[in-house]
Amino acid sequence: MTYILLTNPACSTCRNGLALLQEKGIEPTLRKYMNATEQLSEEELRDIAKKLGNVRPHDFSRPKNISAEGLDPEMSDDELFAAMANNPKFIQRPILIKGDEARLGRPIEKMLELL
């Protein structure tokens, strides 16, 4: 089974999460979503929300980053999906995807539920 890790290499939690997966023999495909060429679309973010268990975008957003940009972290789901697609630093990380399931790596050990 293919694993995809949504990651930001500048993030220590992402690096630690990748190391944990590698310790378990998993070499996921890395999606560096902060790179302009790898950013997530609104549709992809909606799909990730479903894979996380039909959660709201608020459940995998970074409210402090949203507030720092002068936006309301309690905006509507549609507004937040659009904001996350336009500004990837609003997305919580890392997220491990396996097929139709995903886990937010907070703490990183949560990703092990997909192994």
Give the whole-angstrom CA distance, residue 52 versus residue 115: 15
Rg (C-alpha) for the chain, rounded Å, is 13
Note the pLDDT of residue 1: 78
- pTM surpassing 0.75? yes
State which residues form the domain around 51: 3-114
Contact 11, 94 (CB under 8 A): yes
Q: Which residues are catalytic?
A: 11
Domain count, the chain: 1
* Number of Cβ within a 10 Å radius of residue 89: 14
Note the pLDDT of residue 101: 98
CATH number reported for the structural domain that contains residue 28 in this entry: 3.40.30.10
Note the pLDDT of residue 108: 97
Averaged pLDDT, groups of 10, the chain, 115 residues long: 95 97 97 96 98 97 96 95 97 97 97 96
Give the whole-angstrom CA distance, residue 33 versus residue 26: 20
Omega within 30 of 0 (cis) for the link into 94: yes
Buried b vs exposed e over 20-54: b needs ≥16 C-beta within 10 Å? bbeeeebebebbbbbeeeebbebebbbebbebbee
